[in-house]
Amino acid sequence: MGLASNSPLEHENLVERIIKELQDLPGALLPILHRLQDELGFIPPALLPVIATGLNLSRAEVHGVVSFYHYFRSSPPGRNTIQICRAESCQAMGSRALEVHAQRALRCKFNQTSADGEFTLLAVYCLGNCACSPAVRVGDEVYGHVDAAKFDSLVAALSTSEVQVK
Amino acid sequence: MTAALTKIYVPRDTTACSLGADRVAVVIQQHIEKNQLPLEIVRNGSRGLYWLEPMLELETEQGRVAYGPITPDKVDEFMAAACWLRSDQHPLYLGLTEDIDYLKRQQRLTFARVGVIAPTSLEDYCQHGGFAGLRTALAMKPQAIVSCVTDSGLRGRGGAAFPTGIKWQTVLDTASPQKYIVCNADEGDSGTYSDRMIMESDPFSLLEGLIIAALAVGADRGYIYLREEYPLAEEVLNRAIDVAYANGYLGKAIAGSNFSFDLELRLGAGAYICGEETSMLESLEGKRGEVRSKPPLPAISGLFGQPTVVNNVISLATVPIILAQGAEHYQRYGAGRCRGTLPFQLAGNIKYAGLVELAFGYSLRDLLEDFGGGTRSGRPMRAVQVGGPLGAYLPESQWDTALDYEAFIEIDAVLGHGGVVAFDDTVDMSEQARFSMEFCAIESCGKCTPCRIGSVRGVELIDKICAGKAPAQNSILLEDLCYTMANASLCAMGGMTPIPVRSALEHFAEDFEVDAGPASRPSPQA
């Protein structure tokens, strides 16, 4: 995730720059949305009209695409994004229990962010790490054989809130 | 002059790294620098013996020898043993890598280089037979290339098993100034990772397959549609594409010929349905990944309305060896109408999880027992799901079925992309059936009613049956719903979701009784 500031004007400048760079690609909408989410961590709904104008699409078409794909989000994520695989291979190795544990440990449900803003918890359907289920992904790192204890130590290593409290 | 350095191989593959391979590489590098060791780290891909990862290899006069698993907590002790001086003196010594039984019993054609080479080293690739297929193809007429692929018997490895050569023939025969090659790298099936391994460990084989396909049908543009969930594959593929451009294997005048081909990597965005070819084409065009009606076939009207070859990663990565060694060589492997090999992926609750490339015709039991070694939990194995989330759950009575597309269809199952997910006796099959419907509801593109609504109703019906609410009537309704979904859905998502549901109902009926359920079972062992 980039460090672009959160001012609406800067967001607009950013998206215009991205559109200018990518608009000539055939089927440019997904590459543009990807770049935007890479930079900001999410796709601000206020930018949809700008993208629509830039690509000569309707706002409805852009909204339709953003909302179709699970990966694109319309609100900022927490500092860390944790994905827990819910698919069959991980189920066979106890991911149902891990899901329950994770939601309890972070005190939030799937698609929510923990109260301290540290963790956004997401479900994912297969990380291709099925030889070492259950699998969890944090950012671009994948972890294998994750049980409750390993999950807790992962979270502890990532968490900064304790430091901030002190 | 410095003495020659011994190569030490540390895999860089998602699963190896999920067990600490990156950390292991860092620690080894620190030891090398601190103690001036005569070693040089090579980051290879993974051989796919995942219970041994991180599996390190050392170059010796006899060949490469392996050690594993060398997890980060064992690496200091491993380095202290100085195995490069005397290789066999370590408790985790596995002998010559090539002699490891699990590898030795496989027939690695598509995966011949996987784990052997440094993935983005063009030199390594060429030294191990890379681009031999392309060289052969460049000297052939397009029709001869297509015929070679047709004659090899290769069928689409994404799961649908449609003959690759016939697809290419249709595109070749369709006149158009613009044609496309699209690689379907949206490997979304749970329990599968063979595409990921090719892309992370031998990306040039995929590129070579794409170039040959383009040459065969007369396309000058290609796309790899990669799922977002594979960040390492993205990095490795982009690097491989850059290297290929820099060395004249992509772009204008490929390998000195007058043939040009441009290739671009595109990322999906977390939609399982985009593994369906027409949905993927919509997504590549920048739209919602909604399935198209067929006809027209993508081979006639595909990406941006142009004739398009859509092939899975494994299909394309197998093309180079077919061209290099000839159709007959590939044909010799396999059984019945299934020629060649399929990379099976052992997953879930299995002791020796890994990549097993075998000729068609072995039995599922051979895979589960001889290779898999039973469950990882040590409990009895109860069910096996083959072919991803749309594949059947097979009870032990069906494990002697031959690994062959037609033999699986005969038992109302599918071989699909070769994923094999094992479950022990703690599994509740009503939960698995419910999940199949739930997954369909989450991932349906929404275009057709049987899939969009049927999956939601399916979850509700299974809940009612398991809660004891009119189970007899609701079971009839559920079967009726399955019939409708199977016959009236627009694509395989809704059309095949009934397969796992029906197999669970048929073979594990006791799990749908009211007093069954998770409470009366032993708790799963993670």
Does position B310 have pLDDT exceeding 90, yes or no?
yes
pLDDT category at A7 given cuts 50, 70, 90 is confident
Residue B524 has which token pair?
């799963």
Cα distance from A8 to chain B (closest Cα, Å)? 25
Q: How many CA atoms lie within 13 A of B411 on its CB side?
A: 25
Give me B12's structure tokens.
């860089």
- Average pLDDT estimate for A111-117: 96
The predicted-structure confidence for B232-250, as pLDDT tens digits, reads as follows 999 999 999 999 999 999 9
Dihedral, A19, A20, A23, A29 alpha carbons, nearest 10 = -10
Q: Which residues of A are less than 8 Å from B17 in CB distance? A: 141-142
A interface mutation test: which of B350, B421, B424 has the most A CBs within 10 A?
A: B421
Task: Give the span between the Cα atoms of B315 and B5, in whole angstroms.
Answer: 38
Q: Over range B503-523, report the average pLDDT.
A: 77
* Residues of chain B contacting residue A92, judged by C-beta atoms under 8 Å apart: 347-349, 421-424, 427
pLDDT of residue B521: 53
pLDDT of residue A4: 52
Side-chain half-sphere exposure of A142, counting CA atoms within 13 A:
26
Tokens 């063009």 belong to residue? B122
Question: Cα B514–B517–B523 angle (5° rounding)?
Answer: 160
Q: What is the DSSP letter of B384?
A: E
Give the residue carrying structure tokens 């799901």.
B385
Taking only the tens place, the pLDDT of each residue in A33-52 is 999 999 999 999 999 999 99
pLDDT at res. A161: 55
Confidence bin at B516 (pLDDT 50/70/90):
low
Report the alpha-carbon distance of residue B168 to residue B216 in Å, rounded: 8
Residue spans per domain, chain B: 6-103, 122-331, 337-422, 429-520
Q: For helices A148-158 and A95-105, what crossing angle results, to 10°?
A: 40
Q: Least CA distance to B351: which residue of chain A?
A: A131
Q: Which two tokens stand for residue B257?
A: 């010929």
Residue B367 DSSP class: I
- Say how far residue B224 (Cα) sits from the centre of its chain: 15
Tokens of B196: 């990921």
Cβ count within 10 A of residue A128:
32
B231 touches chain A (CB under 8 A): yes
Mean pLDDT estimate for chain A = 94
Model confidence band, residue B143 (pLDDT cutoffs 50, 70, 90): very high
Provide mean pLDDT across the span B414-431.
98
For domain B429-520, which CATH number applies: 2.40.70.10, 3.30.450.20, 1.20.1440.230, 1.10.10.10? 1.20.1440.230
Looking at residue B309, the DSSP 8-state letter turns out to be E
Q: Are B230 and B272 in contact (CB under 8 A)?
A: no
Residues 6+ apart with CB under 8 A from B325: none
Residue B1: is its pLDDT beyond 50?
no
Residue A19: what residue type? I
Query: Does A140 score more than 80 pLDDT?
Result: yes
The percent of residues in chain B predicted with pLDDT above 90, rounded, is 96
Alpha-carbon distance of B221 to A154, in angstroms, equals: 43
Q: What is the 3-state secondary structure (H, E, C) of B6-69?
A: EEEECCCCHHHHHCCHHHHHHHHHHHHHHHCCCEEEECCCCCCEHHHCCCEEEEECCEEEEECC
* Listed residue (B36, B28, B34) closest to B2, CA to CA: B36
- Give me the residue from A69, A88, A98 closest to B385, CB to CB: A88
- Please state which architecture CATH assigns to domain B337-422: Roll (3.10)
Alpha carbon B433 to chain centroid, angstroms: 24
What would the mean pLDDT of B455-474 be, rounded to a whole number? 97
Q: How confident is the model at residue B426 (pLDDT cuts 50, 70, 90)?
A: very high
From the list A31, A65, A124, the residue facing B287 with the nearest CB is A65
Tokens of A92: 């066979």
pLDDT tier at B266 (50, 70, 90 boundaries)?
Answer: very high
CATH 3.40.50.880 fits B122-331, yes or no: no
In a 13 Å sphere around the CA of B74, the CA atoms on its Cβ side amount to: 16
- Domain B6-103: CATH superfamily, name plus number: Glutaredoxin (3.40.30.10)
Give the 3-state secondary structure of B318-341. Answer: HHHHHHHHCHHHHHCCEECCEECE
Window 35-94 of B: residues touching A by CB (8 A cutoff) are: 48, 50-51, 53
C-beta of residue B164 within 8 angstroms of C-beta of residue B181: no
- Give ipTM to 2 decimals: 0.95
Cβ(B83)–Cβ(B89) below 8 Å: yes
Contact residues on chain A for B279, CB-CB shorter than 8 A: none
Best probe of the B interface among A19, A61, A68, A140, by most B CBs < 10 A, is A68
- Residue A165 in this model has a pLDDT that exceeds 50: no
Q: What is the C-alpha separation between B519 and B67, in angstroms, rounded?
A: 42
What percentage of chain B exceeds 70 in pLDDT?
Answer: 97
